[in-house]
Amino acid sequence: MSSITQTTPAPASVRQYRDYDQPLWKRVLLTREMAIIALLIVVVIVASMTVRGFGQPITLTYLILDVTPILLIALPMTLIMITGEIDLSVASIVGLSSVITGVLTHGGMPFEIAALIALLVGGVGGAINGFLVTVVGLPSLAVTIGTLALFRGLAVGLLGTTAVTDFPEFWTDLAKAKLGATGIPLVIIPFLVLLAIFAVVLHFTPFGRGIYAIGLSKETAAFSGVDVGRTKFILFVLAGLVSALAGIYYTLRFGSARGDNATGMELQVIAAVVLGGVSVFGGRGALHGVIAGVLLIGVLASALRLANVTSDVINIITGALLVISVVSSSFLAWLRTRRQAPGGKPRVEVSTAG
Amino acid sequence: MSTATTTPTPTSNVTRRLSAIGKARELGILLALVIVVIAATAANPNFLFSADGWRDLLLTPSILVLVAVGQAIVLITRNVDLSVGSVLGLTAYLTGRLFIDLPGIPIIAVFVIAIAFGGVLGLINGALVAFAKVPAMVITLGTLYAYRGINVLWTGSDRINASDLPKSFLALGTEQFLTIPILTIIALVVLIIAGWYMKNTRGGREFYAIGSDPAAAELYGLRVTRRLLTAFVLSGALAGLGGVLYAARYGTINSQAGSGWELDAVGAAVIGGVAIVGGVGSVWGAAIGAVLLLTINRALPILGIPDFWQRAVVGVLIIGAIVLDRVLAVRQKRKLIEARDDS
Q: B70: distance to nearest CA of chain A, Å?
A: 17
Rounded CA-CA distance B64/B70 in Å is 10
Q: How confident is the model at residue A1 (pLDDT cuts 50, 70, 90)?
A: very low
Q: Do A141 and B1 touch (CB under 8 A)?
A: no
Nearest to B149 among A137, A315, A331 (CB): A315
DSSP assignment of B271-327 equals HTT--TTSS---HHHHHHHHHHHHHHHHHHHHTT--GGGHHHHHHHHHHHHHHHHHH
Distance from CA of A267 to the nearest CA of B (A): 7
pTM of the model: 0.82
Q: Quote the pLDDT of residue B64.
A: 93
Q: Which residues of A touch B318 (CB under 8 A)?
A: 142, 145-146, 149-150
In this predicted structure, what is the pLDDT of residue A104? 93
User: Mutate which of B80, B138, B314 to test chain A, going by most A C-beta atoms within 10 A?
Assistant: B138
Beta strands in A234-273 (DSSP E): none
Lowest mean pLDDT across A36-50, A140-154, B246-260 = B246-260
Q: What pLDDT does residue B19 have?
A: 59
CB of B302 closer than 8 Å to CB of B47: yes
pLDDT band at A150 (very low <50, low <70, confident <90, very high): very high
Q: Do B267 and A149 touch (CB under 8 A)?
A: yes
Highest mean pLDDT: which range of A9-23, A226-240, A270-284, B160-174:
A226-240
Q: Measured between beta carbons, which residues in chain A are less than 8 angstroms from residue B277?
A: 139
Taking contacts as CB-CB distances below 8 angstroms, the residues of chain A near B80 are 141
Residue A52 identity? R
Contact B143 A153 (CB under 8 A): no
Within 8 A of B323 by CB-CB distance, chain A residues are: 132, 136, 138
Contacts of A94 (CB under 8 A, 6+ apart): A69, A73, A243, A244, A246, A247, A250, A261, A262, A265
DSSP string, B100-131: HHSTT--HHHHHHHHHHHHHHHHHHHHHHHHH
User: A146–B306: do the CB atoms touch at under 8 Å?
Assistant: no
* Nearest in space to B186 (alpha carbons), one of B104, B246, B113: B246
Q: Supply the DSSP symbol for B258.
A: T
B140: nearest CA partner in chain A: A323
Name the closest residue on chain B to residue A278, using Cα atoms: B138
Angle between helices B310-342 and A140-159 (to 10 degrees): 150
The amino acid sitting at B214 is P
Between chains, do B132 and A326 touch, taking CB under 8 Å as contact?
A: yes
pLDDT tens digits, A180-212: 777 788 888 999 999 999 999 998 999 999 999
Cα distances (angstroms) measured from residue A344 to each of A321, A329, A337, B3, B300? 28, 18, 7, 20, 58
**Contact: A327, B128; criterion CB under 8 Å:** yes
Would you put residue B5 in left (φ > 0), alpha (ψ -120 to 50) or beta?
beta
pLDDT at A57: 80
Who wins on pLDDT, B178 or A153? Answer: A153
| Residue A100: band (very low, low, confident or very high) from pLDDT cuts 50, 70, 90 | very high
pLDDT number for residue A6: 41
Interface of A with B in 282-311 (CB under 8 A): 310
Report the Cα–Cα distance between both ends of chain B, in Å, rounded: 33
Given pLDDT bands bounded at 50, 70 and 90, which one contains residue A342? low
As for the ipTM of the complex, it is 0.79
Question: Are B152 and A317 inside 8 Å of each other by CB?
Answer: no
Give Cα B5 to chain centroid, integer Å.
37
- Alpha-carbon span A172 to B92, nearest angstrom: 42
**Per residue in A286-338, pLDDT tens?**
999 999 999 998 898 888 888 777 666 777 777 788 778 777 777 777 777 76
Residues 6+ apart with CB under 8 A from B232: B74, B79, B81, B122, B123, B125, B126, B129
Q: How high does pLDDT run on average in chain A?
A: 83
pLDDT confidence of residue A339: 66
Confidence of residue A27 (pLDDT cuts 50, 70, 90): low
Residues 6+ apart with CB under 8 A from B295: B33, B36, B37, B40, B57, B60, B61
Measure A295 CA to nearest chain B CA, in Å: 17
Our measurement of the distance from residue B125's CA atom to the centroid of its chain's CA atoms, rounded to an integer in Å, reads 16
Looking at residue A18, its amino acid is R
What is the pLDDT at residue A118? 95
pLDDT in tens, chain B (343 residues): 444 444 445 556 666 665 565 556 677 788 888 888 888 888 888 777 777 777 777 888 889 999 999 999 999 998 889 899 999 999 999 998 888 888 888 888 889 999 999 999 999 999 988 888 788 888 888 888 888 888 888 887 778 887 887 888 787 777 777 778 888 888 899 999 998 888 888 888 888 888 888 888 888 888 888 889 999 999 999 999 999 999 988 888 887 788 778 888 988 898 888 888 878 888 888 999 899 888 888 888 888 777 778 788 888 888 888 888 788 778 878 888 888 887 7
- In total, the C-beta contacts within 8 angstroms joining chain A to chain B are 158
B293 contacts: CB under 8 Å, gap ≥ 6: B61, B64, B264, B267, B268, B271, B314, B317
Chain A residues in contact with B266 (beta carbon < 8 A): 145
Helices A111-130 and A90-106, packing angle to 10 deg: 150
* Res. A346: pLDDT tops 80: no
In angstroms, rounded to a whole number, what is the distance separating the alpha carbons of residues B300 and B39? Answer: 10
Q: Do B148 and A315 touch (CB under 8 A)?
A: yes
